[in-house]
A and B are shown apart, each in its own frame.
Chain A
Amino acid sequence: MSAPTTMSSLTAPRGSRRVTDVVVRGLVYLSGVIAVVPLVWILITIISKGLPVILSAAWWTQDLAGTTDRRAGGGALHAIIGTLEIGLITAVVAVPIAVLGAIFLIEYARGTRLARGVSFMVDILSGIPSIVAALFVFAFLITILHFDRSAIAAALSLVLLMLPTVLRSTEEMLKLVPDSLREAAYALGIPKWRTILTVVIPTAFSGIATGVVLGLARVMGETAPLLILVAYARNLYLSPTSDTMATLPTMINTGRDVAETLAGYDRVWGAALTLILLVMGLNLLARWIARAGRLKDR
């Protein structure tokens, strides 16, 4: 005989359990709010101070040549182009190494001691601070090899920062491709290299591309390598070998001590908002790539 079910065993908890519930629930909600407050605050500040600046057409079409911190006018074209150009050089160098490295680790060396060693090194590399990457490139290219500072040097230090994140994300995407697809290709008499090129990579493509774009978005906001390896200028410089090239992070840094009443002060907020928009644009692009990849599966 089982004990009869009484109503009391079905009612909501009371007493100390109820108090605990309310307190913990309150703490969880509060933590959520606290986590979001600084983010919203920063966004509101930057948008309210930066939006009027970037709404002018000149902001997107002119550099700061001929202007001073006291004189309004000019724009951030030189810094936008510089950021995009250094980002592009970084991606061109880092993406092939990262993707081919991930293919080596997953498709050819999976489970071997060599793969574990390389993975360990990549983990270490992903933990180094950007200033260390910058000083490494400075010591190697400029102190030892006697090159000048240049946009390429700055891009190379960003490569060190982008490489591990893209390699890791590509590795994860390749791991998600089921072995049954590789076997299906082998069973058709397709060689391994061709299987990787035509079956494995297309299947993982949207994931790999998403990782690349997110990795790029991350390094575009880096400042330390740019401060150390390339000089800021108020003019537009296009040559990647020139030792002067403006970028949005260094433009923000240069204007940080300008008095609040001057035009240069507003430009700092404009540059900050522009950088956020660029990075956000890349993030949206990544989402769009990921979604386009999923749609194709249906």
Chain B
Amino acid sequence: MAKRIDVENLDVYYGSFKAVSGVSLVVEPRTVTAFIGPSGCGKSTVLRTLNRMHEVIPGAYATGKVALDGVDLYGAGVDPVAVRRLVGMVFQRPNPFPSMSIYDNVASGLKLNGVRDKSTLDESVESSLRGANLWNEVKDRLNKAGTSLSGGQQQRLCIARAIAVKPEVILMDEPCSALDPISTLAIEDLIQQLKELYTVVIVTHNMQQASRVSDRTAFFNLEAQGLPGQLVEIDDTETIFSNPTKKATEDYITGRFG
């Protein structure tokens, strides 16, 4: 598990609007890479191109190359559904399926991909919930509704649901922005554990969070409203936060704009 992501010359459009221009970056396996930058700079858009989720929005398309261990995700004949089985995603707001129990939420990915065997499902639910640091809190009420949990627990449930299908990469789109500080801490601890098994890419508005959890940080910016967002630089997190190469990065992390 865990694969390397190569992005080359990625442009993303929403209809005729060019949202992101010329992004090239490399994400190493078993690392956490953080995307930071001001609102509207395209960091979430780039994240969503890594598992072709942007295609859910009508009119959105990308050009360029996104490769997972050398395999182009946008190559001819590649099924976006298959891509998303390899590249999972955790969203800004916890979104457990309200019609399902805790157990069914975690098992949903496997079940809906055709796994029926009860013991396989049981095993996967337990190991995924353990992997998301949620097992001890919910093991006695697996048949309760997923929406009965607190916000932080729901987000960990969503992480458990994402890792249950054994993806290679986990994308996180501001996973803590709707959570309180204690739940945020729990998720950050969890991200540290997840990188032992998975490649993690996280979008965050919180620069302390980026410096706490990530190994590499990519800074995105846009020159003006209406212009496409661009990757300014990507480097080791320590370097970005102590000694960035570009002036714009320094201005952003020291709070001079954004």
Given contacts A187-B88, A189-B84, A298-B145, contact A181 B112 (CB under 8 A): no
Are the C-beta atoms of B88 and A188 separated by less than 8 Å?
Answer: yes
Are the C-beta atoms of A203 and B97 separated by less than 8 Å?
Answer: yes
Could you tell me the distance in whole angstroms from the C-beta of B194 to the nearest C-beta in chain A?
16
- From 196 to 228 in chain A, residues with beta carbon under 8 angstroms from any chain B beta carbon are 198-199, 202-203, 205
Question: A186 within 8 Å of B by Cβ?
Answer: yes
- From the candidates B95, B97, B100, B112, name the one contacting A194 in the complex (CB within 8 A): B112
Could you tell me the distance in whole angstroms from the C-beta of A179 to the nearest C-beta in chain B?
8
- From the candidates B58, B82, B93, B109, name the one contacting A180 in the complex (CB within 8 A): B93
A–B Cβ pairs within 8 angstroms, 7 of them: A183-B56, A186-B84, A187-B89, A188-B85, A188-B161, A199-B97, A202-B97
Task: List the A side residues contacting B89 at CB < 8 Å.
Answer: 183, 187
The CA of A189 and the CA of B235, in the complex, are separated in Å by 31
The CA of A89 and the CA of B98, in the complex, are separated in Å by 32
Are the C-beta atoms of B99 and A203 separated by less than 8 Å?
Answer: yes
The CA of A205 and the CA of B96, in the complex, are separated in Å by 17
Question: A296 within 8 Å of B by Cβ?
Answer: yes
B167: nearest chain-A partner, CB-CB: A189
The CA of A111 and the CA of B109, in the complex, are separated in Å by 29
Question: B162 within 8 Å of A by Cβ?
Answer: yes
Are the C-beta atoms of A184 and B147 separated by less than 8 Å?
Answer: no
Question: B13 within 8 Å of A by Cβ?
Answer: no
Could you tell me the distance in whole angstroms from the C-beta of B119 to the nearest C-beta in chain A?
21
For the complex of A and B, the 10 pairs showing the least CB-CB separation, nearest first, are A189-B85, A202-B99, A187-B89, A188-B109, A180-B95, A189-B84, A190-B112, A184-B95, A203-B99, A191-B81
- From 97 to 113 in chain B, residues with beta carbon under 8 angstroms from any chain A beta carbon are 97-100, 108-109, 112-113
20 further A-B pairs in the complex, CB-CB below 8 A; given A111-B58, A185-B97, A190-B81: A183-B56, A183-B89, A183-B95, A184-B161, A187-B84, A187-B88, A187-B89, A187-B162, A188-B85, A188-B88, A188-B109, A188-B165, A189-B81, A189-B82, A189-B83, A189-B113, A190-B112, A205-B99, A297-B98, A298-B147
Question: A127 within 8 Å of B by Cβ?
Answer: no
Question: B63 within 8 Å of A by Cβ?
Answer: no
Dominant secondary structure of chain A at its interface with chain B: helix
Are the C-beta atoms of A203 and B98 separated by less than 8 Å?
Answer: yes
Question: A15 within 8 Å of B by Cβ?
Answer: no
The CA of A199 and the CA of B109, in the complex, are separated in Å by 11
Could you tell me the distance in whole angstroms from the C-beta of B75 to the nearest C-beta in chain A?
17
Interface residues on A, range: 20 to 34
Question: A178 within 8 Å of B by Cβ?
Answer: yes
Are the C-beta atoms of A180 and B91 separated by less than 8 Å?
Answer: yes
Question: B148 within 8 Å of A by Cβ?
Answer: yes
- From 256 to 291 in chain A, residues with beta carbon under 8 angstroms from any chain B beta carbon are none
Are the C-beta atoms of B51 and A181 separated by less than 8 Å?
Answer: no
The CA of A194 and the CA of B82, in the complex, are separated in Å by 14
- From the candidates A186, A188, A191, A297, name the one contacting B108 in the complex (CB within 8 A): A188
Binding site for B on A (CB under 8 A): 111, 178, 180-191, 194, 198-199, 202-203, 205, 296-298
Interface centre among A188, A194, A199, A297 (most CB of B within 10 A): A188
The CA of A297 and the CA of B147, in the complex, are separated in Å by 7
Question: B53 within 8 Å of A by Cβ?
Answer: yes
Task: List the A side residues contacting B147 at CB < 8 Å.
Answer: 297-298
Task: List the B side residues contacting A182 at CB < 8 Å.
Answer: 56
Task: List the A side residues contacting B231 at CB < 8 Å.
Answer: none
Question: B20 within 8 Å of A by Cβ?
Answer: no
A203: nearest chain-B partner, CB-CB: B99
- From 108 to 164 in chain B, residues with beta carbon under 8 angstroms from any chain A beta carbon are 108-109, 112-113, 145, 147-148, 158, 161-162
The CA of A189 and the CA of B165, in the complex, are separated in Å by 9
- From the candidates B82, B99, B162, name the one contacting A188 in the complex (CB within 8 A): B162
A296: nearest chain-B partner, CB-CB: B145
Could you tell me the distance in whole angstroms from the C-beta of B252 to the nearest C-beta in chain A?
28
Are the C-beta atoms of B51 and A187 separated by less than 8 Å?
Answer: yes
Are the C-beta atoms of A188 and B95 separated by less than 8 Å?
Answer: no
Task: List the B side residues contacting A296 at CB < 8 Å.
Answer: 99, 145
The CA of A186 and the CA of B52, in the complex, are separated in Å by 10
Could you tell me the distance in whole angstroms from the C-beta of B57 to the nearest C-beta in chain A?
10
The CA of A181 and the CA of B148, in the complex, are separated in Å by 16
Are the C-beta atoms of B88 and A297 separated by less than 8 Å?
Answer: no
Interface centre among B51, B95, B108, B158 (most CB of A within 10 A): B95
Are the C-beta atoms of B91 and A183 separated by less than 8 Å?
Answer: yes
The CA of A194 and the CA of B158, in the complex, are separated in Å by 19
Interface centre among B58, B93, B99, B109 (most CB of A within 10 A): B99
Are the C-beta atoms of A184 and B112 separated by less than 8 Å?
Answer: no
Could you tell me the distance in whole angstroms from the C-beta of A79 to the nearest C-beta in chain B?
39
Task: List the A side residues contacting B148 at CB < 8 Å.
Answer: 298
Could you tell me the distance in whole angstroms from the C-beta of A108 to the nearest C-beta in chain B?
11
The CA of A182 and the CA of B100, in the complex, are separated in Å by 14
The CA of A202 and the CA of B98, in the complex, are separated in Å by 9
The CA of A187 and the CA of B93, in the complex, are separated in Å by 14
B108: nearest chain-A partner, CB-CB: A188
B81: nearest chain-A partner, CB-CB: A191
Could you tell me the distance in whole angstroms from the C-beta of A254 to the nearest C-beta in chain B?
47
